[in-house]
Amino acid sequence: MASLKILIYSCMREEASETRAEMLHAMSVAALIMEDLLGALLQIGQLDAGRIQPRVTSFQLSQIFERLAIQFRHQAEEKGLKLRFVTPRGTVATDRALLERILSNFVANAIRFTEVGTVLVGCRKEGRMLRIEVVDTGRGVKDEDLERVFEEFYRAAEERRGQKSGLGLGLNIVKRLAELLEHPVRLRSRPGFGSIFSVTVPRGNVWHSEGGEVEISETVAGEFVGTPVLLVEDDDILRRSMTQLLQRWGITVHAAADEAEALRLADEGVSVKLIVADFNLKSRTGVEVVRGLREVFGAATPAMIVTADAEPRVLDDIRGAGLPVLIKPVSPPRLRVLMHNLLFEPGLVAGPR
């Protein structure tokens, strides 16, 4: 936060475009670190409060491996590391989102502490179970740290001296999620040679597995060009930044600070194909605003809610109104996927993102 405040102050006064670009990149990195920390703390809080309930399904691991490959490919390439995934046939039976979080923390940890060599993700069969392993050629973990690495905010002495960017929360989240799922987690390591982090999950029934999910690439061009979207957001900065993001995708944005302003746009003859509304507006909730706007634009007008309030009661109210919801800070790729589904494949839309 301190770095970000200084960078913002300096950037506002910097005239050289090259220097401003460097400052903006540094600001982006600082914001990502803050987002990682807040996201991790939020998840730990939800786990402590018992608010995360597993949803066990049968699915193919290839779905997770493909997403992890996309997520971490560039990080590995920047360090000159080989990142390999050996995908098994068959299915596993567990909570897909929670397992992906466990494996993403394993892979992120492996890349962070490996300077030369390879990070390999693969599996071994153990009867009716499948052990998913993340193997690296990094510095390894000393015997006295093998158990402590799973504690909150714990970082080994070498890591503290090296001022690594790790928060000391990733492996603690792994431990908590694994306990919730009742999946054994194991760490084997040789200092100077590398580590093997693993989680063991039940194998699933291929006949009960879910079909592949539709993935929408951020690079897909043209699908939203000319689409009129009504954005209702009372925060001036967020409204401007969201408007700029949507305009880069070719969307025609009609931005309003509240319901009254949105209705004035309708009176001026504006027609829209999608409504994006903040939940905590000054006078009414986003759900109420969407309901009022649909009386003008049509009851079938697709709509979504964005909110920073992740309380289960709030999310239940939004879902109860039949509206999909994105939690702030909104991820542009997730926003794009949800918009695509609402506009072109509404049958795929369900639940909070």
- pLDDT, one tens digit per residue, over 242-286 is 998 899 888 999 999 999 999 999 999 999 999 999 999 988 899
Whether the per-residue pLDDT at 75 is higher than 50: the answer is yes
Beta bridge partners of 326: 306
pLDDT at 262: 94
Q: Is the pLDDT of residue 221 over 80?
A: no
Mean pLDDT of the residues in the chain: 82
pLDDT tens digit sequence for 310-338: 778 888 889 899 999 998 878 787 888 88
How buried is 287 (Cβ within 10 angstroms: 0-12 exposed, 13-18 middle, 19+ buried)?
buried
Q: Which pair of tokens denotes residue 176?
A: 């908590």
Q: What is the CATH number of domain 228-348?
A: 3.40.50.2300
Kindly report the CATH number that applies to the domain delimited by 56-208.
3.30.565.10
- Contact indicator for 50, 312 with CB cutoff of 8 Å: no
Helix, strand, or coil (residue 272): coil
| E runs forming strands in 5-128 | 56-60, 82-85, 91-95, 118-126
**pLDDT tens digits, 134-177:** 999 998 888 877 777 777 655 554 554 444 455 556 788 888 88
According to the model, what pLDDT value does residue 330 have? 82
Q: Where in the chain are the domains?
A: 2-48, 56-208, 228-348
Q: Which amino acid is it at 67?
A: R
- 3-state SS class at 19: helix
Tell me how far apart the alpha carbons of residues 267 and 259 are, in angstroms, rounded to a whole number.
12
Q: To the nearest 10°, the Cα dihedral for 269, 273, 278, 279?
A: 110
